Structure 1
């Protein structure tokens, strides 16, 4: 597939931050390494009930640092080797409160393969599990800023499109992108792939936002400098917990015009209900794999939440080139706070589910 659009982080390039990440993680103090207390003696809090280990929350990360922030704070851990996972991340780690962390590997292919291996593994009972997909992403400066943590209600695939090089597109088209089997960029495609757009459980997204909306988020001096170059909010404001939707695809992109297509594509595929704000690589693939497991009654799709934190802007500030924004994304300083803020934002939700499992086991309680 050729496409000059689709996604940014997670990228192997982010592995180049070991020292800044180590320092950042050392400052995270929302929870200690102690496991959560529980308020009930629910029968499925056992280690290996019938059919495999029961899991209350499965945290899904895409590459090492995203998973490490959880491993550093929620242990001690038991390691479970699962056949079929990424050779780089072959284990699922579970604590005494049945919270587990897995890492898929980056990109659509790794995410789909790893989640399929998990979903059909006989080592886990995932029928009542809440899945928290937690990763970093590029962010639209009109909706958030570096470090902002966004709970999504819609997952949209940016890669499943036709594309013409912009130099060869019809003069009256605003973009060279258009839906497959359509006649112009404004026509909604027939969704023949069945993975172009997914609606998450809005009640769960709202509950997660309600629980986490007032947490104090991490920041960095470099991020403050980078966001100050924008002359509008929320790009130039401190990070916050927000609600807006996420766009997946394996190609990193940068720029005003592709960014406008991202906004339009999200509106088009969600019939005007979705609001684009983060761009990443894996989430539609992850959800489709969970959907396959749900078709075999191994997973409950109403228990999937997606949290993406902005590590870099998806387009330049006024006076900056799109190329400079892309090639020098790391200088924005959003990586370390974004990693921390996945935990700071998602941690209270995990704690709420585990502490009040008696209520959450039946489904999302009213908030």
Structure 2
């Protein structure tokens, strides 16, 4: 299940653009261009959010900010917001098309020098109750695309199959596909993922009574326990889904594409497309792929508790109370990495430090 809260979305979606003081002059190179180098304004950390509330949690806490407009960004989020610590926040728009287009626009913009930038994707997601709970914040090592599969109608699954999904150009659901798209799976820098986890694993995460009540309906851990910072992998796909059988396929598909090394725990829409855009920029030395981290916080469960229908789990996802705490926990789990980078830039500038 990929999730966003729709009720407050309209009012909040443009907050990241309207609540920030714009540059009086778009050519104000004193701030926008940093040290005046022809490569553009240097950035230490670029936080990538996907919709307004995800970006706003950072904008509310790390300002003041100035807007830097970039051609090609989403018309809903046309500016990159940067502060004097060289931390910037961008919002791509939801879904893989928006994420890819916006990230490409950023990566190839002459307004920024991103060669030494650390990118942190930070967004909410559905979560597997066997790995985490609503409010849990998960650092990923693998990005897996759930959408690049063949699908047979679930009412016509062949005998002996446990799913209607199979890899493209395979003969059964258990075969690994040839990865012809080249975007099916990506492995992130393990050292960066481990460092991010180590910096944040002991932070106290936000919680609320509504989420606690939703958790109590699950009879097993960690679903019925308080949220924590965890390490497990994330699955991208633009189709929102809910269900035990689909959840089992998500686990299996992650294992297949990572040769048994990945552990599925969060589901979202954008991360493989965001990474692919950065990968293309890296091919011409505009960014460093070893500096990409992905943090997803569970805003709802991807499958029902015993006795609940998958339809009820999906249609009433907002009742789980995870939206506001997941947003807050993106900040609580992600900010230790952000602050360590900018505070100890001498250690980070040339790559992830060994500690």
Normalised by the length of structure 1, the TM-score is 0.90
CA distance in 1, matches of 2:11, 2:245: 30
Deviations 1:4-58, CA, capped at 9 Å, x for gaps: xxx512465661796xxx9xxxxxxxxxxxxxxxxxxxxxx94543310000000
Q: Which residue of 1 aligns with 2:107?
A: 119
Q: Which residue of 1 aligns with 2:349?
A: 361
Q: Which residue of 2 aligns with 1:149?
A: 137
CA distance in 2, matches of 1:48, 1:264: 50
SS at 1:180 equivalent: coil
Deviations 1:253-292, CA, capped at 9 Å, x for gaps: 0000000000000000000000000000000000000000
Q: Does 1:322 align with 2:310?
A: yes
Equivalent residue in structure 2 for 1:15, among 1, 9, 31? 9
- Whether the aligned pair in 2 keeps the contact of 1:10 and 1:280 (CA below 8 Å) is no
Q: Which residue of 2 aligns with 1:79?
A: 67
CA distance in 2, matches of 1:98, 1:48: 14
- Whether the aligned pair in 2 keeps the contact of 1:266 and 1:274 (CA below 8 Å) is yes
CA distance in 2, matches of 1:89, 1:363: 30
The ranges of structure 1 where at least 4 consecutive aligned residues each deviate by more than 3 angstroms after the TM superposition are 10-14, 45-48
SS at 1:193 equivalent: coil
Q: Which residue of 1 aligns with 2:202?
A: 214
Q: Which residue of 2 aligns with 1:41?
A: none
Offset, 1:109:
0.2
Q: Which residue of 1 aligns with 2:227?
A: 239
Q: Which residue of 2 aligns with 1:193?
A: 181
SS at 1:79 equivalent: strand
Q: Which residue of 2 aligns with 1:279?
A: 267
Q: Which residue of 2 aligns with 1:164?
A: 152
SS at 2:272 equivalent: helix
Q: CA RMSD in A?
A: 1.4
SS at 1:192 equivalent: coil
Offset, 1:101:
0.1
CA distance in 2, matches of 1:15, 1:276: 27
Q: Which residue of 1 aligns with 2:279?
A: 291
Q: Gapped runs of 5+ residues in structure 1?
A: 1-6, 23-44
Offset, 1:119:
0.3
Equivalent residue in structure 1 for 2:52, among 64, 70, 73? 64
Offset, 1:164:
0.6
Q: Gapped runs of 5+ residues in structure 2?
A: 16-32
Equivalent residue in structure 2 for 1:99, among 87, 104, 114? 87
Deviations 1:84-137, CA, capped at 9 Å, x for gaps: 000000000000010000000000000000000000000000000000000000
Q: Which residue of 2 aligns with 1:265?
A: 253
Q: Which residue of 2 aligns with 1:32?
A: none
- Whether the aligned pair in 1 keeps the contact of 2:192 and 2:291 (CA below 8 Å) is yes
Q: Which residue of 2 aligns with 1:339?
A: 327
CA distance in 2, matches of 1:132, 1:100: 10
Matched positions, count:
336
CA distance in 1, matches of 2:70, 2:267: 29
Offset, 1:355:
0.2
SS at 2:175 equivalent: coil
Q: Does 1:253 align with 2:241?
A: yes
- Cα 1:11–1:177 change in 2 (3 A) is farther
